[in-house]
Homo-oligomer: A and B are copies of this chain.
Amino acid sequence: MTETQGLHIAVVGATGAVGQQMISTLEKRNLPIKKVTFLSSARSAGTKLSFKGEEVIVQEAKPESFEGIDIALFSAGGSVSKELAPEAVKRGAIVVDNTSAFRMDENVPLVVPEVNEEDLKKHNGIIANPNCSTIQMVVALEPIRQAYGLSKVLVSTYQAVSGAGAAAIAEMKDQARDLLDNKEIEPKILPVGGDKKHYQIAFNVIPQIDKFQDNGFTFEEMKMINETKKIMHMPELAVAATCVRLPVETGHSESVYIEVDQSGVTVDQIKDLLSSAPGVVLEDNPSEQIYPMPANAVGKNDVFVGRIRKDLDEDKGFHLWVVSDNLLKGAAWNSVQIAESLLKLGLVTVK
């Protein structure tokens, strides 16, 4: 499509909130692409999208769709990935999967390039893209871990509705307008489309993302806990999470408390580290009211870190505020970045 030599890239779930961001990220970056194939459910097949100025008609995703594909970026829900990712691999594609279907599979690398790019070398066809809230946190913590060690992570999240898809964004906006007009609302999607009850999200806070597990934590919280340990190769790391949905369209925020291994580390040392860390932008100047906010992070690939404070009681304890665009670094950009890393490491060949 754009070059005679290059990769043939498929986007599965091309019409979804993340799929759309995958397409625009592919347009902006410099991967050598000779062809794109946009796939979706039967319902959305036929939709006309564009890529670098040319029209691309979305096709229904089937096993045969993956013939000739070099890299397939999946973001169409766990059941689609479970069914079609192995079919894509069988046909020679490398799958970068944005669902939770394979993340904890020990044969599947779970990769954030700034943290564990080398894990890509162990792939068996499928590479998992971590949960959005996990990605931004580990990007911020990895430079600190490398310099000073890390023993404990306690995170409370402030997550945007776009993490629950385009329909959740529409629900929030419709509710906001109705509530401002003093109209009744009827929640139908959030907190979890497939769960029993649905609650107001506009002008409200819902302390549930994904379904509850038997231990009282939600699946989203367990994803943050387990994925962080896997990505950082630290099964012994103490991690806990409380995941909360807010009336923000895009941009997840996180209040993170950590304990490092070394004594005597200063806030200035951590600021110095993060100011030159890959993928991180330090926004931390209290006297000028400079700190990360979702409204400023939307549309950017970086992870923004600020409000760095030493705990007042624990010498090894620090507090951080971490914000990123959950559709980009939390999903689409991290997936495309994995594709770029595959090329850089020679794990995919341009034909």
Contacts and interface: CB of A to CB of B under 8 A. Distances in A.
Interface of A: 152, 154, 156, 158, 173, 176-177, 180, 191, 195-197, 199-200, 203-208, 212, 215-217, 225, 238-240, 242, 244, 246-249, 251, 253, 255, 257, 267, 286-289, 291-295, 306-314, 317, 319, 321, 323
A212 B286 contact: yes
A217 B207 CA distance: 25
Contact of A246 (B246, B291, B314): B246
29 contacts: A154-B154, A156-B255, A158-B158, A158-B244, A176-B180, A191-B289, A196-B288, A196-B289, A199-B295, A203-B248, A203-B249, A204-B248, A205-B251, A205-B294, A208-B289, A212-B286, A216-B267, A216-B307, A216-B309, A225-B312, A239-B313, A240-B313, A240-B317, A240-B319, A242-B319, A244-B255, A246-B246, A247-B247, A255-B255
Contact of A180 (B177, B288, B289, B291): B177
A307 B205 CA distance: 14
Nearest to A172: B203
Given A180-B173, A215-B309, A313-B238, A292 B207 contact: yes
A294 B180 contact: no
A203 B169 CA distance: 11
A176 to B, nearest CB: 6
Nearest to A247: B247
